[in-house]
Structure 1
Amino acid sequence: MPLVDVAVIGAGAAGLFCAGAAGQRGLKVLLIDHAPKVAEKIRISGGGRSNFTNRECTPANYLSENPHFCRSALSQYTSADFIALMHKHGVPFHEKHKGQLFCDHSSQQLIDVLLAECALGGVERWQPCGVKAVRALTAEDQATAPRYDIETDRGPVQARHVVVATGGLSIPKIGATDFGHRLAQQFGHRIVPLKPALVPLTFDVSQWARWVPLAGVAVPVRIAVDAPAQGKGGGKHGGKAKTQHISFDEDLLFTHRGLSGPGVLQISSFWQPDTPLHIDLAPGTELASAMKQAKSGNRKQLGNAWKDTLPVHIPQRLAQAWLDATREQVPTLRDDQPVAEARDKDLEALGQAFNGWQITPHGTEGYAKAEVTAGGVDTNELSSRTMESKRSPGLYFIGEVVDVTGWLGGYNFQWAWSSGMACARAMANEHGHVEP
């Protein structure tokens, strides 16, 4: 039976990076993945250009029951470190928005970097190859040299260390499964409840019917939600659970089924069922005051003019939709009414409706459209420094399978790099290998 130092299960971002880093530190590494193609999730990420990290990455950009868990790994291997790796491989990239870095040409550039790193580390890759079972050995030397039997489609293999980098449930059409979560439970780990994250939000058909004509309209907004405070057990001793007001200034996109765009994807990770969204469709501008100031001598009809008299651009379809919706509550607002003749309180109602839209989603587009999976292996049962299981020595969990979820904007890739490197260094240190 073949014996390797490290068996990495999952050839996505975290698995590829960890395998390469471990191999370059002198370990014999086998990388196993059931999918026929390597790194398909990387390939489709970032619109095909991979938002591979964020210059401004901090622990505050992550969600977890234990919000402090990610600090150690993120400090060990930073976004600057990965940027240096991209420079080393001569990959051109650009900053698109708020520290988000993308490959100039395609996601294949990032995949090529990871494969090159694996080649430098002499990593052996079995793909496609399913893992049927993982069992811990009970040898006398288990405490000092933990070993695992792994049954695969290509036969059995024995490993001193097993790294689980199988990702989450998002985008099942490219091979996502719950294998990593089931394996964690097999070894006694708790799984923090899973849910789709960075995902479009949907609404009841009848509730959304009036907004369907806005499909395709995009606008910068401030979107907010009141969510449970991070940390396990917000309301201890029977007390009221603590909440936090979360907001993002990003673009919003209307769709036929609901809302999408960066702002909605960001807030979706915090949104809880039956909780309303608070959306300011003209952030930074108090529309009621602006409209009242624009009244003087303005003979244009309200239906044609109200969007043009303001210091912000409002798309025509959006402006008309809000005028129509507000008029249902304020019938004295008329399209053919001169702006100068509009009552101040009517303009107040129109402005407040635009600055303070509240609407409650019915659900999400689910894992099929989610970019990541929130929840995962409970971090209280892992070492934050090494990612090793506290329940089974030599077993590690990295990347998305862990209960650490980044914001939209390259943060989840950075977690893959940071957690993967922390794991690789820890395994190498245990074997007495030094940094390359």
Structure 2
Amino acid sequence: MNSTRSATMTAADANPAPDWAPTGRTVTLLACAGVLVVGQLYTVLALYHSMARGFGVPASSVAWTSTAFGFAYAFGFLVAGPLSDRLGPRKAITICLIATAATTALVPAATTLAVAVTFRALQGLTAALFAPAAYAYATTHIRPQRRAAALSVVAASLLAAAVIMQVAAQLIGAALGWRAVFLLCALAFLVLAAFSWRILLPAAAHRTVRMRDAFAAMPRLLTTPRLTVLYLGAMTLLGGFVAVYASIALVGPRAVTGSPGALLALRASSLPAMVAVPLAAPLLARTSPVRRIAAAMTTAALAVLAAGFAAASPVGLAVAVFVFVTAVLVAAPAYVEAIGAHAGAHRGSATALYAFAMFIGGSVESQLVGNFSHLGFFPIVIGVSAVLGVGALLGFVSVRRP
């Protein structure tokens, strides 16, 4: 009996059970950090006019602060994915939060728009390390039976940042000024860094990989036909998302932009979708990711089209934006699933390329909205709807591609 017990113990020691992270507090931490990190792209959307007054420039020029952050954030992913694999998710997340606290604190020190744009680019570079590390941590440390829901919550938090951080920035900016928004965010980053180091589990040594191998996989991933289609579709997804909110902030209907209360209500009206979509994740999972992408992108395009025609009614506009945000929340994690399913052993690099494509799209469209703001709200949202329509077509191509 003793020999049998000894053999059993030896086998258990040779193949120890995985050290799973506590799901609740892990997902809560990653979601809160995701809102704060990714929300830095969107805070300025609620601060365009106050920053413009502070720098003595037109509000449309302040759109460069979004573009600079977005481009730096996107290109940062090309290094962030491999770097996250090399450092391990826990260390990468903590370093990201500390570094982003420093770069965020620089932004309110800017005395000219050009300096603010430069600091925003630095902020985007440091923030880029978070998303690949967060997805990698959830994939490797959350129990398999809870992993799909955890990934949906993390993905939803990255998009919820657009609404939550705009609302927070509008409230704080109105009370304390736009510089206080960034100073308070910097402090929050430091608090979350301390929690991440305490709560998250370290990566096992065998899970880290050489950066050279991760970089070498990227060209092959980019030339895989189905992945190429998905990356192009992802560009239209976030591009349309940023463009809708940028157009509302810059040239939205007077009934909304002329009233801070109405604008706040419009931004907050999509918050229920941030809760509902993750709760519906098990139901949505019954449909393949590529079919979810095609359906959600079609819905998003139609919702933006409806927003253009409903602009005269604050309630109608809010309903259209709610449907649009819901569709985006459905599409985003579906892109992550579909890309991961076709990435083989290089999911970290594939996810980094996905995020790169997303934020290139968001950066380009935010700048286009600034450049064409003189056309007014309706022509801009019709153009955004057309771009999302292209994304829907790419989604259907992905469904039909063998």
What TM-score results when the alignment is normalised by the length of structure 2? 0.22
Structure with greater strand share of residues: 1
